Amino acid sequence: MVKEYKTITSVTGPLIFLENTENIGYGEYVNINLSDGSLKRGQVLDTSGKRVVVQVFEGTRNIDKNAYVKFSGDVLKIPVSYDMLGRVFSGSGDPLDGGPKVIPEARLDINGLPINPYKRAPPHEFIQTGVSAIDGMNSLIRGQKLPIFSGSGLPHNQLALQIARQATVLDCTESFAVIFVAMGITEEEAKYFISDFEKTGALERGIVFLNLASDPSIERLIVPRIALTTAEFFAFNYDMHMLVIMTDMTNYCEALREIGSAREEVPGRRGYPGYMYTDLASIYERAGRIEGKNGSVTQVPILTMPGDDITHPIPDLSGYITEGQIIVSRDLQRKGIYPPIDVLPSLSRLMSKGIGKDRTREDHKSVSDQLYAAYAEGKDLRGIVSIVGKESLSKSDKLFLDFADDFEKRFVTQNSTENRGIADTLDIGWEILSKLPEDKLLRVSDELIGKYMRRFNNAPDKADQI
Amino acid sequence: MTCGVINLQNKGTIYRVSGPVVTATNIDAKMNELVRVGKEGLFGEVIEIDYDKTIIQVYEDTSLLKPGDEVTTTGMPLSVDLGPGLLGSIYDGVQRPLPKLSQLMGEFIKRGAESPGIDREKKWEFFPLKKKGDKVNFGEAIGYVNENEHTKHFIMSPPNISGEIVEILEKGSYSVEEVLCKLDNGALIKMYQRWPVKVPRPFKDKMIPNVPLVTGKRIIDVLFPLAKGGTAAIPGPFGSGKTVTQQQLAKWSDTKVVVYIGCGERGNEMIDVLTEFPKLVDPVTGGPLMDRTVLIANTSNMPVAAREASIYTGITIAEYYRDMGYDVSLMADSTSRWAEAMREISSRLEEMPGEEGYPAYLSSRLSSFYERAGIVLTLGGKIGSVTVIGAVSPPGGDFSEPVVQNTLRITKTFWALDSNLSQKRHFPSINWLESYSLYYDSLKEWFESKVSIDWDRTRSEAMEILQKEAELQEIVQLVGADALPPDQQFLLEVARMLREIFLQQDSYHEVDEFHSLKRQFSLLNAIIRFSRLGNNAIENGIEIDKILKLESRAEISKVRYRKDFENKIGSINETMSKEFKVLLGEE
């Protein structure tokens, strides 16, 4: 039931207003034919007997009062197909790689539907990313949403690529694919991603959706939804394990704010709309596993914290929805450490479900708790040293101080091409712990110390010191 | 509309749709009445009446609703089914059973599905407590069914029905729809009743809470106890352990019934509760934990208006079990999401915003919710309680924001979660300097008579040590610990023991995760004894290093994990006495 109108009364920012329409549905998908022959797409945001508000995804440039507006009578649906693997699409889902249009197996509503919490399957499969600071300390689990909180100028893209390249599930040969979603990133960054994907062959098992900085910002509101709809299709129809990397969520939120202010809504904190939590949740909550299905959707959204401020509404609301966060720190970056992941404020809420005996290794939880506690103590001591000097520290305190350096230089640091297995990660952990006095290691049992740590105590460099 | 013509309409049409807010015209609906919207008959609630426009919040997704679609009144406010079968259930925000929904529409929640909160067909074995000719008061039990092995579910007359019984069914198996009892005034009593969620269920009298809610968590039970019928707030930034704390309380608190509301939170967390609770053992009855639990799951991506309703649905169910004379605890995770749902609806209504965009009625809504907690004399003459524990998720961890502030004005217990502690993996990460409990004074007597006469003295001593430690830490930051006199250095060590041994508790360790009050007290007492004996030794010129190397000190730190705690703590105390005597050269 397509209805067509030529009654645009006003155009502001990304919105157009129409009058004298009849019975247009909320959320309807809209085509706009411009007088110059071009076509734009949009969606109904508010509808009443008198007036309809439409947000235009491609921006409102060139729209005039003579444009024809076609209401489709349905919500925005995208065509999906297995053949999308290995392709590059625009933010609206059109092919950018010169290939043919997608011949749809199905057309799906981009807003998806909430998973019935009762039918969710508890996530418990460990994903090895090959990055020690993540695998060892804040493990990623299938079906989790674990964002990377970063800042401008930090190597979060490099880290995301490393994860996309290296992510595997131990002892598992099931099919796996990466969906990469760019929102408002520069062409240069996009090239960097795509060339890396091509170089490493990751694109063969991947799909790219690109909305560049020069593309209309409003399109950023639909691109993550298109990507997640595609991911769900692969996960729940083809039993595939999908890793969705979305960068940069900050640009998404800016677009949301833009729409809010164009609609003259009452703004919430820092001008972001009051419904931003709900809106972000409708994206992040689409990660998960479903009872009785083999596939899964795992999300690694990336966001740059404005001014490195973790209390800014974007990281703040994200943190309340996602299952933890990986924090990329400027301090570590300045020290020349890659990946500059600050493990102390980082967290993976699902970690304990996916690690331990039969999953990773029996000592995983204990080692990571002990590394956490010791590193926290070492960092506290750094603060004291800067005031009173190293001399006034006790002998054991000095060991903790050295431990903090060891932890950063030996455990966290690795090359961006190094794919470190979980066993190696844990062994490095034990090795650096072995330099601490045994009676200060309260989080690990004597049994584990005997099994995993003592061998490092006999290492030659330790013997030399004594 | 024509003037002067009164024309009661129970059908109207949609005028405007904006997100979850729908405006209808030509309909005469009452405030807070439930209406059905559109072809699919989506549920909505009337939240404003403005001349000929009726404003409705819809509990489901409103996509493709359009002006001109039909709106019908139901004549009922949003209500819940109260009857046997609630325990062990998992509902969405408007009491639709989620397992039923998944049977109806698969793994995803589509809209327009309808399913009663209580199974209408299931038969329950009814045991009458009254006979023909007996009088039934408002809210009095006429019989009971065994809802599960451990819970007698009393069938009560609704709070607005009383009279003399002219007919009552005998013991037997009936479905909830069958009339169990007829009264002389024509009123009928069934196994279930419906109650509007926004109206508190009435009671005879509210009493002063003076019995503690035992949670098995040392920092809570000893330092900041909560009373049965009391209210508590757990605010904390993300990652500080709110949900873990809430879930631990749901597992271990010694109440008959637990209502757990996941309000706008993560789906994966709800499934966690769902998979774990049936396997866990109820510390009170020994049955499966799920048998005493009612779960309400309205995850963050489910409709926002239903999120607003979920809190009311939960507290009404809690009050219903309270009316049977049971202790009920209610965990709401998180009330901030509830407040945000109010804010979202309010801004769609274009209301004048108060602080940070929240509606001006935020404070009154929060207080009327917490006010539904309490220990009461029920209409039926029993004593029951509802304890409310609300998590708050302040943006940026800033406790000065409106939801935290308005909550603190009402709640009497405050467990401040601290992300500095959680980053050090100190759990539960409740900050012992900022938290407080206003119930302690009225609970003190109970602890002294039921656990130990030394309860208050030992607790105060521990609090004092922790306070002093905070003061000394500032000096240590400047001059280093070595510069302090020995007694202060010793105090720092004792404080460290208190923090690491007593306040920290491992939620994943089978013994440590729950400590009885007796155990909690003996552990604290052992540390405080060590402190007293140590201070005495220092006064007598013993070196601090020697005291810290004592065997008993090392043993205290491990005893909390031991199954034979009681025996062990006794022997530790003996060892401690001996060791100090040796140190002082008395033996």
Q: Could you tell me if B435 and B471 lie in one domain?
A: no
Query: Alpha helices of B329-454 — where are they, by DSSP H?
Result: 335-348, 362-370, 402-408, 419-423, 440-450
Q: Could you tell me if B264 and B408 lie in one domain?
A: yes
Q: Which domain holds residue B308?
A: 205-440
d(CA A440, CA A434): 11
Q: Could you tell me if B189 and B215 lie in one domain?
A: no
Q: Is the pLDDT of residue A97 over 60?
A: yes
CB B167 within 8 A of CB B182: yes
Do the domain assignments include residue B406?
yes
What pLDDT is attached to residue B493? 92
Could you read off the pLDDT of B374-386 as tens digits, one per residue?
A: 999 999 999 999 9
* CB-CB neighbors (< 8 A) of B478 in chain A: 387-388
* CB-CB neighbors (< 8 A) of B482 in chain A: 392, 394
Q: Is the pLDDT of residue B5 over 60?
A: no
Could you read off the pLDDT of B151-164 as tens digits, one per residue?
A: 999 999 999 999 99
Mind spelling out the 3-state secondary structure of B48-113? Answer: EEECCEEEEEECCCCCCCCCCCEEEEEEEECEEEECCCCCCCEECCCCCEHHHHHHHHCCECCCCC
Could you read off the pLDDT of A306-357 as tens digits, one per residue?
A: 999 988 999 989 998 999 999 999 999 999 999 999 999 999 989 988 898 8
Length of chain A: 466
CB A105 within 8 A of CB A93: no
On average, the pLDDT of chain A sits at 89
Q: What is the CATH number of the domain that holds B505?
A: 1.10.1140.10
CB contacts under 8 A, B 175-234 vs A, are none
Minimal Cα distance from B272: which residue of A?
A: A122
Could you read off the pLDDT of B488-499 as tens digits, one per residue?
A: 999 999 999 999
Do the domain assignments include residue B87?
no
CB contacts under 8 A, A 67-126 vs B, are 74-75, 111-123
**Of A27, A143, A267, which has the smallest distance from its Cβ to B64's Cβ?**
A27
DSSP SS3 for A443: coil
d(CA B83, CA B99): 18
**Percent of all residues in chain A with a pLDDT value above 70, rounded to a whole number:** 97
d(CA A5, CA B576): 89
* CB-CB neighbors (< 8 A) of B393 in chain A: 320
CB contacts under 8 A, B 372-401 vs A, are 393, 395-398
Q: Is the pLDDT of residue A464 over 50?
A: no
Q: Is the pLDDT of residue B230 over 80?
A: yes
Q: Could you tell me if B324 and B232 lie in one domain?
A: yes
Is B18 near chain A, with CB under 8 Å? yes
Q: Is the pLDDT of residue B241 over 90?
A: no
Mean pLDDT over B430-451 rounds to 95
DSSP SS3 for B474: helix
Q: Which of B44, B75, B106 is the last residue of a domain?
A: B75
DSSP A305: P
For residue A40, what are the β-bridge partners? A32
CB A117 within 8 A of CB B90: yes
Substitution target in B13, B64, B513, B558 with the highest count of A β-carbons within 10 Å is B64
Strand-strand pairing, A206-212 and A88-90? parallel
Is B496 near chain A, with CB under 8 Å? no
Tokens of B512: 């440590």
Mean pLDDT over B122-139 rounds to 94
What pLDDT is attached to residue A49? 82
Tokens of A90: 């625009």
Tokens of B388: 């409310």
Nearest in space to B389 (alpha carbons), one of B227, B529, B176: B227
Whether residue A26 and residue B337 make contact (CB cut-off 8 A), yes or no, is: no
**Of B63, B477, B500, which has the smallest distance from its Cβ to A75's Cβ?**
B63
* CB-CB neighbors (< 8 A) of A49 in chain B: 15-16, 67-68
Do the domain assignments include residue B103?
no
E strand or H helix that includes residue A164: helix A156-166
What pLDDT is attached to residue B6? 47
Whether residue A290 and residue B304 make contact (CB cut-off 8 A), yes or no, is: no
What pLDDT is attached to residue B408? 94
* CB-CB neighbors (< 8 A) of B108 in chain A: 112-116
pLDDT band at B8 (very low <50, low <70, confident <90, very high): low
Annotated binding site of B for ATP: 236-243
Q: Could you tell me if B301 and B423 lie in one domain?
A: yes
The better pLDDT of the pair B557, A151 is held by A151
**Percent of all residues in chain A with a pLDDT value above 90, rounded to a whole number:** 56
Is B19 near chain A, with CB under 8 Å? yes
d(CA B59, CA B309): 9
Mean pLDDT over B294-322 rounds to 93
CB contacts under 8 A, A 302-341 vs B, are 310-313, 316-317, 319-321, 323-325
Cβ count near A287 (within 10 Å): 30
**Of A117, A310, A349, which has the smallest distance from its Cβ to B299's Cβ?**
A117
Tokens of B88: 């062990």
Residues 6+ apart with CB under 8 A from B528: B458, B461, B462
B522-525 contacts, C-beta under 8 A, 24 or more apart: B522/B565, B522/B566, B522/B569, B523/B218, B523/B556, B523/B559, B523/B560, B523/B569, B524/B218, B524/B222, B524/B458, B524/B459, B524/B462, B525/B452, B525/B454, B525/B458
- Planar angle of CA A428, B512, B498, nearest 5 degrees: 85
**Percent of all residues in chain B with a pLDDT value above 70, rounded to a whole number:** 98
- Planar angle of CA A313, B62, A232, nearest 5 degrees: 70
Tokens 């076509």 correspond to what residue? Answer: A39
* CB-CB neighbors (< 8 A) of B504 in chain A: none
For residue B306, what are the β-bridge partners? none
Q: Could you tell me if B221 and B300 lie in one domain?
A: yes
* Å between A58 CA and nearest CA of chain B: 21
pLDDT band at B356 (very low <50, low <70, confident <90, very high): confident
Q: What is the CATH number of the domain that holds B356?
A: 3.40.50.300
d(CA B175, CA B250): 30
What pLDDT is attached to residue A175? 84
CB contacts under 8 A, B 396-425 vs A, are 396-398, 419, 423-425
Tokens 């990304």 correspond to what residue? Answer: A14
The better pLDDT of the pair A191, B321 is held by B321
Q: Which of B159, B194, B229 is the last residue of a domain?
A: B194
CB B376 within 8 A of CB B195: no
pLDDT band at B144 (very low <50, low <70, confident <90, very high): very high
Whether residue A23 and residue B482 make contact (CB cut-off 8 A), yes or no, is: no
Tokens 């939960």 correspond to what residue? Answer: B314
Could you read off the pLDDT of B515-545 as tens digits, one per residue?
A: 999 999 999 999 999 999 999 999 999 999 8
- Planar angle of CA B354, B358, B361, nearest 5 degrees: 75
Estimate the crossing angle of helix A364-388 against helix B455-479, to 10 degrees: 50
Do the domain assignments include residue B112?
no
Could you read off the pLDDT of A255-297 as tens digits, one per residue?
A: 999 988 888 887 878 889 888 888 999 999 999 999 989 899 9
Do the domain assignments include residue B38?
yes
CA atoms within 13 A on the CB side of B476: 18
Nearest in space to A215 (alpha carbons), one of A185, A172, A175, A248: A185
Q: Is the pLDDT of residue B427 over 70?
A: yes
pLDDT band at B111 (very low <50, low <70, confident <90, very high): confident
**Of A323, A325, A373, which has the smallest distance from its Cβ to B268's Cβ?**
A323
d(CA B47, CA B44): 9
Q: Could you tell me if B189 and B259 lie in one domain?
A: no
Could you read off the pLDDT of B168-215 as tens digits, one per residue?
A: 999 999 999 999 999 999 999 999 999 999 999 999 999 999 999 999
d(CA B342, CA B353): 11
Q: Could you tell me if B367 and B277 lie in one domain?
A: yes
Q: Is the pLDDT of residue B345 over 90?
A: no
What pLDDT is attached to residue A463? 39
* CB-CB neighbors (< 8 A) of B16 in chain A: 46-49
Whether residue A118 and residue B300 make contact (CB cut-off 8 A), yes or no, is: no
* Å between B506 CA and nearest CA of chain A: 11
Q: Whole-model pTM?
A: 0.90
Do the domain assignments include residue B93?
no
CB contacts under 8 A, A 121-160 vs B, are 121-123, 143-144
Q: Could you tell me if B414 and B463 lie in one domain?
A: no
Tokens of B64: 């493709």
Tokens 């809106």 correspond to what residue? Answer: A279
Tokens of A296: 């899964």
Do the domain assignments include residue B106?
no
> What DSSP assignment string belongs to B153-207?
EEEE--TT--EEEEEEPPSEEEETTSEEEEETTS-EEES-EEEETTSPPP-SEEE
* CB-CB neighbors (< 8 A) of A344 in chain B: 423
Q: Could you tell me if B410 and B264 lie in one domain?
A: yes
**Of A26, A74, A122, which has the smallest distance from its Cβ to B275's Cβ?**
A122
Nearest in space to A436 (alpha carbons), one of A381, A378, A393: A378
DSSP SS3 for B269: helix
CB contacts under 8 A, B 460-489 vs A, are 476-483
DSSP SS3 for B148: strand
Do the domain assignments include residue B214?
yes
* Å between A98 CA and nearest CA of chain B: 34
What pLDDT is attached to residue A172? 65
Q: Is the pLDDT of residue B476 over 90?
A: no
- Planar angle of CA B69, B311, B348, nearest 5 degrees: 40
Could you read off the pLDDT of A174-230 as tens digits, one per residue?
A: 788 999 999 999 999 888 888 888 888 778 888 999 999 998 888 899 999 999 999
Q: Could you tell me if B488 and B520 lie in one domain?
A: yes
* CB-CB neighbors (< 8 A) of B483 in chain A: 392
Count of structural domains within chain B: 4
Q: Could you tell me if B328 and B382 lie in one domain?
A: yes
CB B101 within 8 A of CB B115: yes
CB A299 within 8 A of CB A285: no
d(CA B306, CA B28): 23
Q: What is the CATH number of the domain that holds B45?
A: 2.40.30.20
Mean pLDDT over B219-246 rounds to 91
Residues 6+ apart with CB under 8 A from A357: none
Residue-range domains of chain A with CATH: 3-75 (2.40.10.170), 79-354 (3.40.50.12240), 364-464 (1.10.1140)
